[in-house]
Amino acid sequence: MPSKMIKPVMSAEEAVKHIVQGSSVMVGGFNYGGVPYTLVDALVDYGVKDIELIANDTLYEGVGHGKLIQTEQVKKVIASHVGLNKATQRLFNEEKLELELVPQGTFVERIRAGGFGFGGFLTPTGVGTVHEKGKEVMEVQGRKYILELPLKADVALIRGYKADRYGNLTYFGTNRNFNPLMATAAEIVIAEVDSICEVGEIDPNDVVTPGILVDYLVLKGDSYYATRT
């Protein structure tokens, strides 16, 4: 019996079966960078619907999780920027897609709150704008802040660089972005990586995400963007 500390390595097709109709799914990435392209493509093929997508942006039409919007597998998006994907704009205008736009610094901090056990946090970002609508505004030491609430998900699809069999992860270049925090804030964390090595082969100084946060490992595939990022 393999120890539970050893994380299963599986195909993207197998891994995305953890997502069911109505699941909330965090997907790492900023623009082209740090997107788990192979997992997202598998999710498109799997076809499960009514996903609540939590991602910084919805990329471009036909790229990464931008495809999930086009296939209408997403019922709600929580993101900071969706301007580059025409399908997001179109489906939102047709009222086929719910959209919650969050300032990017607030977005990432809400994920931290979700993953690290905070009940919320106070930020000055958005005070006096429509973003504060429906939220509690509090004055602390003479400055106004918005009370923002945590974000969590059923499943996080993240993108790492190297993994060992414990699921310890390193990141590369600007692919890091939201991935380390998303690994803290979901029930099931699936990491797509460039390579998988034996336990002990990654210098502990280089580990950014400890393996205790990661449930499954998937090797990146050979799609255009997976190979280039």
Where on the chain is the footprint of another protein (CB under 8 A)?
A: 30-33, 56-57, 79-84, 89, 92, 99, 101, 103-106, 108-109, 112, 123-131, 171-181, 208, 225, 228-229
> Is the distance from CB of 6 to CB of 163 less than 8 angstroms?
no
Residue 226 Cβ, how far from another protein at the closest point, in Å?
A: 11
Residue 143 Cβ, how far from another protein at the closest point, in Å?
A: 11
For residues 51 and 160, what is the distance between their CA atoms, to the nearest angstrom?
23
Q: Which is nearer to another protein, 38 or 56 (CB)?
A: 56
For residues 108 and 7, what is the distance between their CA atoms, to the nearest angstrom?
26
Residue 99 Cβ, how far from another protein at the closest point, in Å?
A: 7
Residue 98 Cβ, how far from another protein at the closest point, in Å?
A: 12
Beta-ladder partners of 162: 195
Residues 6 or more apart in contact with residue 68 via CB below 8 angstroms: 40, 43, 44, 51, 53, 74
Task: For residue 217, give both structure tokens.
Answer: 């490992």
Backbone angles phi, psi at 93, to 5 degrees: -65, -30
> Is the distance from CB of 79 to CB of 69 less than 8 angstroms?
no
Task: For residue 76, give both structure tokens.
Answer: 């709600």
Residue 138 Cβ, how far from another protein at the closest point, in Å?
A: 16
Q: Which is nearer to another protein, 16 or 163 (CB)?
A: 163
> Is the distance from CB of 52 to CB of 28 less than 8 angstroms?
no
Q: Which is nearer to another protein, 46 or 121 (CB)?
A: 121
Residue 180 Cβ, how far from another protein at the closest point, in Å?
A: 5
Distances (CA, A) of 207 to 7, 112, 163, 188, 193: 16, 18, 9, 20, 14
Q: Which is nearer to another protein, 8 or 62 (CB)?
A: 62
Q: Which is nearer to another protein, 3 or 93 (CB)?
A: 93
Pairing assessment for the beta strands 74-79 and 162-164 based on DSSP bridges: unpaired
Q: Which is nearer to another protein, 19 or 106 (CB)?
A: 106
